[in-house]
Structure formats: structure tokens, C-alpha cells
Amino acid sequence: MRRRAFAASALAALAAPAVAQPAWPTKPLRMVIPYPPGGPSDVSTRIVVEHAARSLGQAVVFDNKAGASGMIGAEFVKNQPVDDHTFLTTTTAMVCITRHLQAIPFDPEKDFVTVSRMTTSWGVFALHPSVPARTVAEFVAYAKANPGKINFGSSGMATITHLFGEMLSLEAGIRMTHVPYRGSAPATNALLAGEVQAQFDQTCLPHVKSGKLVGLAMLAEVRHPDFPDIPTLREAGYGKDGGDSWFGILAPAGTSPAVVARLDQAIAASLRTAEIGEKVHNGGMRVTYLDPSDFRASIGTEAAMFGDIIRRGNIKVQ
């Protein structure tokens, strides 16, 4: 009798219809990009998320809300009613650096949940050809023999392109003078003109390729496939764990975990395609996908690392 009752209940369970998952997305996704159009965060987001949204059967509306180092767009998303369709592009600077330099209008851990890290810029440590160094070791020796004579340009005070220079100075025991510019392109133009002698930025790569600048090291975990002879900074003895200029997606706190999982899966699938991989490469980036859990852990690790650099370097926003 017990065996018959068990068999009957098992058959009933098999016959019962599966509980339907709620349909999502039910309308176009809204992706807020807190930086101007045309920059690497904008390009990366549009390449990857448009493909992912298409695989989910919906369009995506890209909404650039630039200003205040990404804070305007982040605060806007934080204050929107949670609708499971609004998301935010994030960067290393937004969640790992700025918090150590000024008050920010959101709590990265409490106001947002991580969805996916997507890509990372190909940065390069580049020199003006007049500097008598063709390796990182030669540069460090020259800088030590000429303290304060090396000026390095950046895209602005306390940007990641600034902190790369500070990291190398601290690790190598050298002293360089930081010269901030209003963006990466003006800093690269200054390097080409010899106004500064060094820069840490992806905008230098085309000029390294043309021979106008000298590429000493890639600011990445691996060598650039188009520049196989340029070692990574870690190979040169001054590497670090994380801290590159990456781009990812956040969701407002309260977004359904099932929605976060589905969007993450769609982004991961897009990043695995040859089409998106090629577009990302042509945009000056590489695929460095992390799932929600690993992405959140990496933000915590890198935020602590940058905080330490900022304190040791006595870096302040001017």
C-alpha cells in the first residue's frame, strides 16, 4: 500500500505543470552610462549590452548622463524606482577610487548589486623618445638618477591614469611630477610634443604602433596580441593584483536576483562570441568577464588597494 501511494504521488508530481517563470524583460532595457558618448565605457557598454539585449528579445535604450566623474548618472539610477529594467555602467574609478577622495552620493555596496564585469582597456606605459630608456628597468634607473625630472601626464587628477604613475613611483622608489590634463587625448598630445615624458593610457597605443612613442610595458595581466614584444608591467617587476581600467554593469539594490542572473548570463554569452570579441578588441579593450560574485569581490579588493595608494601617495583632489 505504501509503495502504491508513493508511486501515485510521484506520478502526480511528474504530471503537474512546471511553475512558470515570470517573463523578463517585458520592455526595453534602460542602460544609464554616466560618461560622455564615445569614451571607452560608452563604447564597451553599447557593443556588449546591445547584443545581450537582442538575445533576450528586447531593445535597449542607452542614456548618457555624464558629469562629476560618473556620480550624476550613478545617483540618478540609485534614486529611480526599482523596475528590473534599469541598469548602470560602472568603472574602476567610480567604485574603487573616487570614494577615497571625496564624498560620493551612493554606497557602492548597499545601493547597487553587481551584474557583470565585461571588458578592460589596453593601457600602456609610454615614453617620449627623448627619454634614454627602452625598458622599465632602464627607465627606473634613469628616474632615480634624475629625481623630479620626469613629468608624467594623465587624464586628470586622481584618475586611474594618474594612479598608475603613483603606483609605479611607490613600487620603484622613484619621484615623478604629475601633470593632469582635461582628458586622455590632451595628455597624449602633450606627450607627443615633449611637454611631458611619460603617460599611462590606452590612447598612447596608436602612437606606439606608429613609432612616435616608446611602449615600455602593458598595463594588463597579459601581453597585447598586437604588441607581443612589449612586456606587461608585472613581467618588468612592478606588477600589481588588479586595478586595471575595467567596465561593468550594476543594478539598483532591490532588483530581482533572477533578473540579475539572466542579464549576467546574456552578457557572458555575448562576450563568448567571436563577433563581440572582435568588436571589443577593435575598440581598444579585451574581454575580462566576471560573474556577479567574483565581480563584487574584485571591487572590494581593488577599492582597498587604491585606498592604500591614495593614502601613501598623499593624493588629494585639487
- 184: which 3 cell numbers? 586622455
pLDDT at 308 over 70: yes
State the CATH number of the domain containing residue 197: 3.40.190.10
Residue 228 lies in a domain: no
Q: How many domains does the chain have?
A: 2
Q: Give the pLDDT band (50/70/90) at residue 318.
A: low
Domain end among 219, 234, 254: 219
pLDDT at 240 over 50: yes
Write down the pTM of the prediction: 0.82
State the CATH number of the domain containing residue 287: 3.40.190.150
Instruction: Give one DSSP letter per residue of 128-151, joined into a string.
Output: -TTSS-SSHHHHHHHHHHSTT--E
pLDDT at 19 over 60: no
Residue 5 lies in a domain: no
pLDDT at 226 over 50: yes
pLDDT, tens digit (0-9, with 9 covering 90-100), for 38-83: 878 899 999 999 999 999 999 999 999 988 878 999 999 999 999 9
Host domain of residue 88: 29-120+244-312
Q: Are residues 129 and 45 in the same domain?
A: no
Bigger pLDDT: 220 vs 143: 143
Distance CA 318, CA 311 (A): 15
Phi-psi region at 314: left, alpha or beta (left = phi > 0; alpha = psi -120 to 50) = left
pLDDT at 5 over 50: no
